[in-house]
Amino acid sequence: MNDTLTIIIYSSTAGFPIIIGGLISSFLQKKEFACKNEINHLVTAFGGGALLSAIAFVLIPEAVADLSLLEITLTFLSGTLVFMGLDIAGSKSGGSVAQVLSMMMDFIPEALALGASFAYDHSFGLLIALFIGLQNLPEGFNSYIELNTRMNKKKALLLMFALSFVGIIAALTGEFLLSGNNRIVDSIMLFSGGGILYLIFQDVAPVSKIKNRWLPASGASMGFLLGMIGEKLLQ
């Protein structure tokens, strides 16, 4: 099997959990059961923890090692300011798509890294694809809830199905255009990290809390644990 086909398979493995998470969420949202609200908030917190772990273990470390202090500062703050602008624009248009933005800006740079590094380490490519997929499942679950407040079920699921293929485009871009250009990949990942960190504390974390309920917040710890496990496996 040639490298390009393998990258398509791996990035599909990473991307399809988006629509799988959305389908699970769409099924659960139409059911009424006692813990529904608590489960929704638990998964939201889990997704936030997974995003935070992606920043700590995937998006930031290589950039900090490879870029200068000025490049790190400007790139990270640029990501924060751009995502802040997108968040402001989203709120003025009548809603927020913070979870969807966070998911895509986590998924895209990781998929770029997958494609760019694949020629050097196939086993790393498989592990990072599985790691991305595990992150995308709860993020897809949360994104459906967010999208379903702005559009009907069919449109939300069709959009999520389309987003599942974004990773293939990103991974192939990484293979053909960015292989060997580590500084560019690092800059993209650092930019995304700055934006995602802003969105976690501005939009994702606040909505995960339920008054007088303590279980949902533990999801953040479980999501971060997922990142630590992934980092250990990638070593």
Q: 54-64 pLDDT, tens per residue?
A: 899 888 988 99
Place of tokens 């292989």: 179
Query: What pLDDT sits at residue 90?
Result: 73
User: What's the pLDDT at 1?
Assistant: 60
Compute the distance between CA of residue 122 and CA of residue 110 in angstroms, rounded to an integer: 15
**pLDDT band, residue 210 (cuts 50/70/90):** confident
pLDDT of residue 74: 97
Q: Determine the average pLDDT of the residues in 191-197.
A: 92
Q: Output the six-digit token pair for 198.
A: 């802003």
119 pLDDT band (50/70/90 cuts)? low
C-alpha span between 116 and 30 (Å, rounded): 41
Mean pLDDT over each residue of the chain, to the nearest integer = 88
Mean pLDDT on 175-181: 87
Contacts for 163 with CB less than 8 Å, ≥ 6 apart: 15, 18, 19, 100, 103, 104
Nearby residues of 143 by Cβ (< 8 Å), 6 or more positions away: 18, 21, 22, 99, 100, 103, 160
Lowest mean pLDDT among 38-42, 102-106, 119-123: 119-123
pLDDT > 70 fraction of the chain, expressed in percent and rounded: 96
pLDDT at 169: 95
Q: Tell me: the pLDDT tens digits for 11-31?
A: 999 999 999 999 999 998 887
Over residues 49-57, the mean pLDDT reads 90
Mean pLDDT, residues 151-180 taken together: 92
- Inform me whether the pLDDT recorded for 93 exceeds 70: no
